[in-house]
Structure 1
Amino acid sequence: MSEQRIIRPTPISGFPEWTPRIRSVELRWLDHIRRGFERYGFSSVETPSVEVLDVLLSKGETSQEIYTLQRLQADADDSSDARLGLHFDLTVPFARYVAQHFNDLVFPFKRYQIQRVWRGERPQEGRFREFTQCDIDVINVDRIPLHFDAELPRIVHEVLTGLDIPAWTLNINNRKVLQGFYEGLGITDPLAVIRAVDKLHKIGADAVREILIDQAGLSSDQAAACLELAEIRGSDTTVVDAVAKLGVSHPTLTAGLDELGEVLDELSDLPSGSVVADLSIARGLDYYTGTVYEATFNDDPGYGSICAGGRYENLAGQFIRRSLPGVGLSIGLTRIFAKLVAEGRITGGRFCPTDVLVVLPSDERRSAALAVAAQLRERGFNTEVYHQAAKIGKQIQYAVKKDIPFVWFPPFDDGRPHEVKNLATGEQVEADPASWNG
């Protein structure tokens, strides 16, 4: 007989996984986020993990980020799966979903979507190849009111504040401000400039200036003006005055500043510094057309955005002959959670959700133990029966290791009552499974 080959278990870079105690905290986070979204009337949807490649590539993303599907045992001439790829975000699949189910939805359609996404990029701190995003979007027919651009940051502020994460700031800008300002400078390809400015926080002003001049074809004065605009920050409408002082005028710029000011006014009741207008925020994706968002940790802005999104005028228009503008925000759950785990800020919750372990004193008493467990479950207690007859001390130790708070002792004989032991206090008392309240 040949010796069995041992495959060494090793973690896969960029694909995080957690122990049960850490996972229990992540599940609580997910429940908290879901409740926060539903509190504002958002409905849950889920789309397939895959989309047709033409859909995924339709809005400016690079093919290098997309994992494609291919069956290991596929015939050489079978390319049926080659046109499918794992989705790299949830916004593009959502646009397809809205178009496909248009007649079954109620508009404005407010949806939330919490799912895994995949990106084929080099893993590093804060960047993963598989991660969970928590998206909220509002999409409407023909026109979507601007107040939704303020409602989404408010929801995210409530949700993230409730998670007690390190201090963070949500930065807001408007793509019309950037486009109008650049066009007012006489720049013929504003989108190229937007993509360059979007790299400002990663590569710095000097490198961006070089890109603007050498690759985007701007003059030194134009590049200087673009970088001067990117330096403007403020938590109120004084940012509008700061832009005006730069001496550039354009109708699109005026429209963008009006929208930005209105959103800031609606969010002015939030704690100071929670929301800041940052005119360096560009969001490089092509489909954003108005308000854009990007949140970072205050003490570690280089870690990357923990929340991002923006307004898109007609992302679903490629699928249906209707104008369907929308606005959305995405919380990067895995990016936030992994940082806190790595820093020891999340040490874990309970190993398992069991409330009560029912002791199995002997194989003959298994039916009685199972009956007690069923009765406790019916009353809302997560209950398990020890898997085999064993010494009581061993069964209690099992409960301790799994963080099970109560151990239930069914009668060892017909003359003894039920008893329950609180492992936190050590107290053991008589109890009735029909009335015990924990």
Structure 2
Amino acid sequence: MARISPLSGFPEWLPEGRAVEHAVLETVRRTFELHGFAGIQTRAVEPLEQLLRKGETSKEVYVLRRLQAEESVDAGEDDLDHKALGLHFDLTVPFARYVLENSGRLQFPFKRYQVQSVWRGERPQEGRFREFTQADIDVVGSGALPFHFEVEVPLVMAEVFARLQQFGVPPVRIQVNNRKVAQGFYEAIGLADVEGVLRTIDKLDKIGPERVLATLQQENGASPEQAQSCLDLASISGTDGSIADRVLALGARSELLQEGLEELVTLVEAAQQRVPGTVVADLKIARGLDYYTGSVYETTLVGHEQLGSISSGGRYDSLASDGSATYPGVGMSIGVTRLVSRLLSADLVRASRSVPTAVLVAVTDEQTRADSVAIAAALRRRGIPTDVAPSAAKFGKQIRFADRRGIPFVWFPSPEGHQVKDIRNGEQVDADAQTWEPPAADLWPTVAPTV
């Protein structure tokens, strides 16, 4: 048999890792639903022209076509072979299309969550994959969307990550900025190339302040004084109203700047009351500000900042538009696969067992296997995950079979009366399949921080 060559960038967890991923996803879904977000799912493919509208380069999009695509098609026939299709690289583009197609049936503001795989043709490395799972939330309005949703969304995400700490997820820091602050400031000091300046400031952590200063002057038309003012703005961070005072102390004034500062202060002060220390205004955050129109969010794991952002998002004033109606939105996305990969690679979390089974029913001999199967069926009817030993080996071997999988209990059937053994401590007691049940903590696999 030929040796199988692995494909990099397409993670396949072992059962223990999948249990961790499942626990994370269930917590994410439950928290989203607690806040009124309804789950949806969209197709995996979109027309290439739609995928590329967000500015993604063609080399990052996987194209989809049928291997035996026909060369011709009858006029008017809707044949996917003759449409340029690609796998979606995020969940925003398909969601925008979903909103437009269903606008007449949705109730606005519409709060949705979506957990699906996405595909991106970039070079795999730690935390970056070609196929990965994202979990998104968005709030979309019809024509208008109140600012308070820009406060709600990061607070929902903060709650998600607070709940995930039970599984060993480190604390997070959600850094926030506002397009109106950046744009209002740059325009007030006389800079016209707002998007160019934003892209340059976004490189601050990568290339350092000296090269940023040079780039602002050489490529973005800034004078030395203007370039320094941009760096001074980017140095400001905080969790209260003092950030506005520090920005205004730089001397710039405009209505847009004032509006952005009021929104930013409202956000961080609300967060400071709800989740102290988690949400921080950081004016060097520029990623996404070239297409977001209000708040922007970036989330990192404390102590694992080198992994990069594990959750990001922001406000779009035109998430979707059909030419006559506009649907503004605000949302955030969690890179679930990136998060789980760090939990597993750093051994921060473990599953209590590799299988869902809580009880293994032993088989005395093959002639009485039907009795063991009947016991297992009785336990399953009562909601207890149960398996039957694969062979009528010596009981010691059947116990080792259970132990290797982390199954906590082995059931021994007997005409004289059944017994069940906790193989972790050796305790063995009489049991009835109609009444016995394991402790609640053992019913299903659990995920907990590594000790």
Partner of 1:408: 411
Partner of 2:148: 147
Q: Out of 385-394 and 148-157, give the one that drifted further.
A: 385-394
Of 22, 27, 31, 1:32 maps to 27
Aligned length: 429
Partner of 2:128: 127
Q: Once the two structures are superposed, what CA deviation does each residue of 1:82-125 show, in whole Å capped at 9, x if it has no partner?
A: 61111111122111111112222222111111112121111222
1:19 to 2:10 alignment: no
Counterparts of 1:264 and 1:403 in 2: how far apart (Å)?
45
Contact kept in structure 1, 2:234 and 2:283, CA below 8 Å: yes
Identity %: 50
Counterparts of 1:149 and 1:376 in 2: how far apart (Å)?
48
> Which letter does structure 2 place at the counterpart of 1:187?
L
Partner of 2:288: 284
Q: Out of 229-238 and 12-21, give the one that drifted further.
A: 12-21
> Which letter does structure 2 place at the counterpart of 1:239?
I
The Cα RMSD (Å) is 2.0
The equivalences for 1:64-75 within 5 A come to 64-74=59-69
Contact kept in structure 1, 2:272 and 2:278, CA below 8 Å: no
Contact kept in structure 2, 1:14 and 1:130, CA below 8 Å: yes
1:237 to 2:241 alignment: yes
Partner of 1:424: 424
Counterparts of 1:345 and 1:292 in 2: how far apart (Å)?
29
Structure 1 320/417 Cα, relative in aligned 2: closer, same or farther at 3 Å? farther
Q: Out of 282-291 and 308-317, give the one that drifted further.
A: 282-291
> Which letter does structure 2 place at the counterpart of 1:387?
P
Counterparts of 2:3 and 2:204 in 1: how far apart (Å)?
42
Partner of 2:117: 116
Contact kept in structure 2, 1:201 and 1:302, CA below 8 Å: no
Contact kept in structure 1, 2:158 and 2:275, CA below 8 Å: no
Query: 3-state SS of the aligned residue for 1:324?
Result: strand
Q: Out of 200-209 and 372-381, give the one that drifted further.
A: 200-209
> Which letter does structure 1 place at the counterpart of 2:191?
I
Partner of 1:262: 266
Counterparts of 1:366 and 1:285 in 2: how far apart (Å)?
65
1:197 to 2:198 alignment: no
Partner of 1:351: 354
Contact kept in structure 2, 1:59 and 1:286, CA below 8 Å: no
Counterparts of 2:95 and 2:230 in 1: how far apart (Å)?
33
1:364 to 2:359 alignment: no
Partner of 1:3: none
Of 172, 178, 183, 1:179 maps to 183
Partner of 1:398: 401
> Which letter does structure 1 place at the counterpart of 2:228?
A
> Which letter does structure 1 place at the counterpart of 2:401?
Y
Contact kept in structure 2, 1:370 and 1:385, CA below 8 Å: yes
> Which letter does structure 1 place at the counterpart of 2:301?
F
1:96 to 2:97 alignment: yes
Once the two structures are TM-superposed, the CA of residue 285 in structure 1 deviates from its matched residue by 6.3
Query: 3-state SS of the aligned residue for 1:268?
Result: helix
Once the two structures are TM-superposed, the CA of residue 225 in structure 1 deviates from its matched residue by 1.6
| TM-score of the two chains, using structure 1 as the length reference | 0.92
Counterparts of 2:152 and 2:423 in 1: how far apart (Å)?
46
Contact kept in structure 1, 2:100 and 2:320, CA below 8 Å: yes
Partner of 1:333: 336
Counterparts of 1:320 and 1:386 in 2: how far apart (Å)?
63
Partner of 2:448: none
1:295 to 2:284 alignment: no
Contact kept in structure 2, 1:60 and 1:286, CA below 8 Å: no
Q: Once the two structures are superposed, what CA deviation does each residue of 1:273-324 show, in whole Å capped at 9, x if it has no partner?
A: 211111111223643110000012333433211211001111111x463221
Counterparts of 1:228 and 1:338 in 2: how far apart (Å)?
36
The equivalences for 1:45-84 within 5 A come to 45-74=40-69, 80=81, 83-84=84-85
> Which letter does structure 1 place at the counterpart of 2:48?
L
Counterparts of 1:194 and 1:179 in 2: how far apart (Å)?
9
Counterparts of 2:116 and 2:160 in 1: how far apart (Å)?
17
The equivalences for 1:210-225 within 5 A come to 210-225=214-229
Q: Flag structure 1 segments of 5+ consecutive residues without an equivalent.
A: 1-5
Contact kept in structure 1, 2:198 and 2:289, CA below 8 Å: no
Q: Once the two structures are superposed, what CA deviation does each residue of 1:42-91 show, in whole Å capped at 9, x if it has no partner?
A: 11111122211121111222222211113344456798266111111112
Contact kept in structure 1, 2:193 and 2:221, CA below 8 Å: no
Contact kept in structure 2, 1:291 and 1:310, CA below 8 Å: yes
| TM-score of the two chains, using structure 2 as the length reference | 0.90
Structure 1 stretches of 4+ moved >6 Å: 76-79
The equivalences for 1:312-331 within 5 A come to 312-317=316-321, 319=322, 321-331=324-334
Partner of 1:377: 380
Q: Flag structure 2 segments of 5+ consecutive residues without an equivalent.
A: 74-79, 439-451
Contact kept in structure 2, 1:356 and 1:384, CA below 8 Å: yes
Counterparts of 2:378 and 2:82 in 1: how far apart (Å)?
49
Query: 3-state SS of the aligned residue for 1:51?
Result: strand
> Which letter does structure 2 place at the counterpart of 1:61?
E
Q: Out of 43-52 and 210-219, give the one that drifted further.
A: 210-219
Contact kept in structure 1, 2:108 and 2:142, CA below 8 Å: yes
> Which letter does structure 1 place at the counterpart of 2:42?
T
1:436 to 2:436 alignment: yes
Q: Once the two structures are superposed, what CA deviation does each residue of 1:345-364 show, in whole Å capped at 9, x if it has no partner?
A: 22443110001111222232
Counterparts of 1:81 and 1:334 in 2: how far apart (Å)?
33
